[in-house]
Chain A
């Protein structure tokens, strides 16, 4: 390297010098185009009399938003809440639907993925048809289908389709469910639940250690279930049941305009949210099913056979031998499906579910007209989330990587 004969070799032939020159040119052209864009933007903004800045976030927003977790958390009130509140409501609603969707899609996806590998033709056929149908039709179309075709054919607002009479029902204004209303003293139940979670963790650690040293197993799963359900329940009744339920109230008598589900009683899940949840979780479940199937297939058949040979039953084989190894293959693409689901929740703008894109980059942007700031704020939410996901994925990959000798 160091004793390069510099008489015969031209400096232009040096790959490193070429690389440096190329990179300098690249950076210069990037700076030039960035300069050009910024200059154009500033000129355009000045021409239309706009300024840059985040002052608008303190202004009050005057539009109505459908009742959701976000509006409840930030006690939204049109004409009083600010655009910053709208931003946070959008974020909360986005992640609410993403979290619920991830939960449902994971359960359904794993079920379908395992069913696709079943020996049972009925299960296999059902899962195959499910996956192929839902995977090959655009999500937006499915969203429209659920929202405009299915949920619009529910009974009107003065009518109800009672799922559990008195407790749960649906009509075109949404799904009505009982709402928990914690009273004084409910905090003890929460403490009991937290305690149960901590005990479960400690116990599973202890059980694993005991099994590794003595070989004795401990029914961790059933004990945990008992703890997690029993302890809070006992506390709840010991403290005199400080949890009231507000039941949905349906009236079909009285003045015509007052008929239907009464506001303030029970909890309502707006139809937009139901449609988004259905579409997102059913669609993503089809992809998760394929990931799960590929992950299970990636585990060598010898593992199953060896596990049968040492006398493990199929269920235990699946749980202790196949799934731990398949997870190594499954988790990275699964995480990116979760990320996709979160990003796809932005399609909810098409049916006006009040999430980030819909209320902040849609309604609020139309009112305030701060394109650059608001699009920047909106994108940074998604970018932050995807960077966090990528960080998790790297951590997981490092953790489960095969330790090679």
Chain B
């Protein structure tokens, strides 16, 4: 144990200089290392017969896929960009995209996108048959919407919340008036009556809250106040849409293309969130009848395909309404889309509500908040931030689902393309592919953008939670 090591002991070896630093093994560093780790690691085990077979198969599979992927991507790029016909300076229309065999000038076997076709139809695909002189209205509504949206999405800008509220309240009204022309048939006598009634209700609520009508009314004053404010909002909306703006009215039958797609998507998105929150709260309520009704409502809409909902909206809704009341086609589809997406949103929100710790509910009760106060101030802010990714996913789904309105005869972007494909003036073998490619790119940009934003939000929120 206590063997004495002396300096003159020849057996002892103490290294006096550092060992040379060896380069890392080839499989760990540099390009070869990267290649090994990321590509060849799974196909270079030849230690046994089985492993060799597996490696070879893996290699064949990988490089087969690589080949397929590259040829497909290259084919797509070639079709969309490199070989595509970009302009039609002579106004040849379909002949600009004809090959020699068909009587045109392009080399035989040419098969690529015919962009002049899209350029010629761009106005139709964006606005539908919206009157040409009135397009500034659509552009203005779109521009304001875009600016507002971008403003709300960028963090750190001042008064973001206020801009958001404006976007959810004033903007829809403005867009409605701009797009339709407003000037609805509104009986201003009724509006005045509503204002008077609502003022009365609010006054009663104020006085009741102050205890003028005895204690039993004091508790009910909140309901009166809510009813009064709802009525006032209704009166304001009525009076605004009834204003004679001297804009030319544009029937929704003349709308089309991207305009319809965005109107349906945005209406669905904006309406589905509040409706979905109410339904989710109802489904989590302690009141059995409310819970049952909300559950049945949600499960019904979630159980049927959107197509059948749209069929129902377009075929059955006119039957449900009294004679003379006639919704236009777009509004019917909008109602269907709203109810449908509200049910999906309700399930997402319910997931958020369930994820909230029970202590939060109890804490809110303990400090004496009422049900709506605790929901508004404590529960919902947490629950909704929890499920932002889910909400955005529902939005993406809804945005893609807007294409379904083309089946009930509303010409959204996809329906517009489908109908332009029937135009013989542009009839070429590549017409269909060009049109579908154009629509795919637009949808891809919107949906991919939304999904990236949701991932960004998710990361940001989980960063906040992790410490």
Tell which of A122, A350, A387 touches B39, judged by Cβ atoms closer than 8 Å. Answer: A122
Q: How does the 8 Å CB contact mask read for B277-293 relative to A, with 1 for contact and 0 for none?
A: 00000000011111001
Q: Is the CB of B219 within 8 A of A13?
A: yes
A2 in the interface (beta carbon within 8 A):
no
Let me know if B311 is at the binding interface, CB within 8 A. Answer: yes
Q: Is the CB of B290 within 8 A of A375?
A: no
* CB 8 Å contact bits of B287-322 with A (1 = contact, 0 = none): 111100100000110111111100110011011111
On whether the beta carbons of B319 and A350 are closer than 8 Å, the reply is: no
Complex CA distance for A41 and B323, rounded to whole angstroms = 9
Which residue in chain B gives the minimum CB-CB distance to A283? B400
If the complex has contacts A10-B219, A357-B305, are A137 and B65 also in contact, measured as CB distance less than 8 A?
Answer: no
Docked CA distance A41–B306 (Å)? 23
> Of A118, A141, A346, which is in contact with the most chain B CB atoms at under 10 Å from its CB?
A141
Task: Please measure, in the bound complex, the distance between the C-alpha atom of A365 and the C-alpha atom of B197, giving whole angstroms.
Answer: 47
The answer to whether the Cβ of A229 comes within 8 Å of any Cβ in the partner chain is no
A118 touches which of B42, B303, B440 (Cβ 8 Å): B42
Which of A45, A123, A136, A378 sits near B443, CB closer than 8 Å? A136
A326-352, CB < 8 A from B: 343-344, 346-347, 349-350
Judge whether B316 and A375 touch: CB under 8 Å.
Answer: yes
* B contact residues around A344 at 8 Å (CB): 305
Interface majority SS (helix, strand, loop, mixed), chain B:
helix
Q: Is A161 positioned at the interface, with any CB of B under 8 Å from its CB?
A: no
A19-39 interface code vs B (CB 8 A; 1 in, 0 out):
100110011001000000100
| Interface residue? B444 (CB, 8 A) | yes
Cβ of A122 and Cβ of B63 under 8 Å apart? yes
B406 within 8 A of A: yes
Interface check B2, CB cutoff 8 A: no
Pairwise interchain contact A382-B39, C-beta atoms closer than 8 A: no
Nearest CB in chain B: distance from A358 CB, A: 10
How many Å from the CB of B44 to the closest CB on chain A?
A: 11
Known: A125-B69, A361-B308. A138 touches B443 (CB 8 A): yes
Establish whether residues B414 and A346, one from each chain, have CB atoms under 8 Å apart when the complex forms. Answer: no
Does B66 touch A at the CB level, under 8 Å?
yes
Any chain B CB within 8 A of the CB of A386?
Answer: yes
Bound state CA distance, A135 and B380, in angstroms? 30
Q: Is A145 positioned at the interface, with any CB of B under 8 Å from its CB?
A: yes
Partner of B38, one of A12, A120, A382: A120
- B305 near A346 with CB under 8 A, answer yes
Stretch of B168-176, B240-248, B429-437, B458-466 that contacts chain A:
B429-437
Given contacts A141-B403, A349-B407, contact A123 B65 (CB under 8 A): yes
Give the Cβ gap from B304 to chain A, nearest Cβ, in Å. 5
A140 with B406: CB separation less than 8 A: yes
B208 to chain A, nearest CB (A): 12
Given A27-B289, A365-B315, A357-B432 contact (CB < 8 Å): no
Q: Which residues of B contact A357 (CB under 8 A)?
A: 305, 307-308, 311
* Neighbouring A residues of B444 by C-beta, 8 Å: 133, 136-137
B304/A382 in contact, CB under 8 A: yes
In the assembled complex, the CB of B347 is this many whole angstroms from the nearest CB of chain A, namely 10
Is there a chain B Cβ closer than 8 Å to A44's Cβ?
A: yes
Please report the C-alpha to C-alpha distance between residue A281 and residue B249 in the assembled complex, in whole angstroms.
Answer: 44
Contact A386 B303 (CB under 8 A): yes
Q: Chain A at the B interface: mostly helix, strand, loop or mixed?
A: helix
Report if A149-B436 is in contact (Cβ < 8 Å); known contacts: A44-B323, A126-B69, A136-B447.
yes
**Is B448 among interface residues, defined by CB-CB distance under 8 A?**
yes
Is B439 part of the contact surface with A, judged by Cβ < 8 Å?
yes
CB distance from B66 to the nearest CB of A (A): 5
Asked whether, in the complex, the Cβ of A141 is within 8 Å of the Cβ of B443, the reply is yes
A43 cross-chain contacts in B, Cβ below 8 A: 322-323
Complexed CA–CA distance, A358 and B390 (Å): 32
- Assuming the contacts A37-B320, A44-B323, A121-B38, asked whether A126 and B311 have C-beta atoms less than 8 A apart, the reply is no
Report the Cα distance A145→B42, complex, angstroms: 36
A22 to B372 alpha-carbon distance, docked (Å) = 14
Query: In whole angstroms, how far apart are the Cα atoms of A27 and B292 in the complex?
Result: 11
Give A347's nearest chain B residue, CB to CB: B307
- C-alpha spacing A97/B288, complex, angstroms: 39
A13 to B42, CA, bound (A): 69
Q: Verify B319–A40 contact, CB threshold 8 A.
A: yes
B402 → chain A closest CB, angstroms: 8
Task: Tell me whether A58 is interfacial, beta carbon within 8 Å.
Answer: no
Q: Which of B58, B220, B429 contacts A153 (CB 8 A)?
A: B429
* Contact residues in B for A392 (Cβ distance below 8 Å): none
Q: Are B404 and A347 in contact (CB under 8 A)?
A: yes
Contact A47 B323 (CB under 8 A): yes
Name the B residues within 8 Å of A119 (CB-CB): 37-38, 41-42
In the complex the two chains form, is B308's CB within 8 Å of A375's CB?
Answer: yes
CB distance from A97 to the nearest CB of B (A): 13
> Does residue B215 face the partner (Cβ distance < 8 Å to A)?
yes
The CA of A357 and the CA of B311, in the complex, are separated in Å by 9
B65 near A346 (CB under 8 angstroms)? no
Q: How far is the CB of A290 from chain B (nearest CB, A)?
A: 10
| B-facing residues in A378-405 (Cβ within 8 Å) | 378-379, 382-383, 385-387, 390
Contact A137 to B443, CB < 8 A, known contacts A144-B418, A349-B407, A378-B308: yes
Asked if residues B62 and A120 are in contact (CB atoms below 8 Å), the reply is yes
Contact with B along A341-374 (1 / 0, CB 8 A): 0011011011000000100010001000001100
Instruction: Tell me, rounded to whole Å, the shortest Cβ–Cβ distance linking B258 to chain A.
Output: 13
State how many angstroms separate the Cβ of A39 from the closest Cβ of chain B. Answer: 9
Nearest-neighbor residue (CB-CB) of B40 within chain A: A120
A390 CA to B296 CA, complexed, in Å:
13
A343–B448 touching, CB < 8 Å: no
Query: If A26-B289, A365-B315 touch, does A346 touch B308 (CB 8 Å cutoff)?
Result: yes
Q: Are B403 and A138 in contact (CB under 8 A)?
A: yes
A152 to chain B: which residues have CB within 8 Å? 432
The answer to whether residues A136 and B448 also contact, given A126-B65, A141-B436, A347-B404 and a CB cut-off of 8 A, is yes
Verify A343–B304 contact, CB threshold 8 A. yes
Q: Is A148 an interface residue (CB 8 A)?
A: yes
**A346 with B439, Cβ < 8 A, contacts A10-B219, A144-B418 known:** no
Q: Which residues of B contact A19 (CB under 8 A)?
A: 286-287
- Considering only residues 7-48 of chain B, those with a C-beta below 8 Å from chain A are 37-39, 41-43
CB distance from B114 to the nearest CB of A (A): 13
Q: Supply 7 A–B pairs (Cβ within 8 Å), ascending by A.
A: A10-B216, A23-B290, A136-B451, A141-B436, A344-B305, A347-B407, A385-B303
Top 6 nearest A-B pairs by Cβ distance?
Answer: A386-B303, A136-B447, A343-B305, A138-B400, A121-B38, A346-B305
List 9 other contacts, CB 8 Å, given A10-B215, A30-B293: A26-B290, A40-B320, A122-B63, A138-B414, A138-B443, A149-B432, A344-B305, A350-B407, A375-B312
By a beta-carbon cutoff of 8 Å, the part of chain A in contact with chain B is 10-13, 19, 22-23, 26-27, 30, 37, 40-41, 43-45, 47, 118-123, 125-126, 129, 132-133, 135-141, 144-145, 148-149, 152-153, 343-344, 346-347, 349-350, 357, 361, 365, 371-372, 375, 378-379, 382-383, 385-387, 390
B interface residues (Cβ-Cβ under 8 A, vs A): 37-39, 41-43, 58, 61-63, 65-66, 68-69, 73, 215-216, 219-220, 286-290, 293, 299-300, 302-308, 311-312, 315-316, 318-323, 396, 400-401, 403-404, 406-407, 414, 418, 421, 429, 432-433, 436, 439-440, 443-444, 447-448, 451
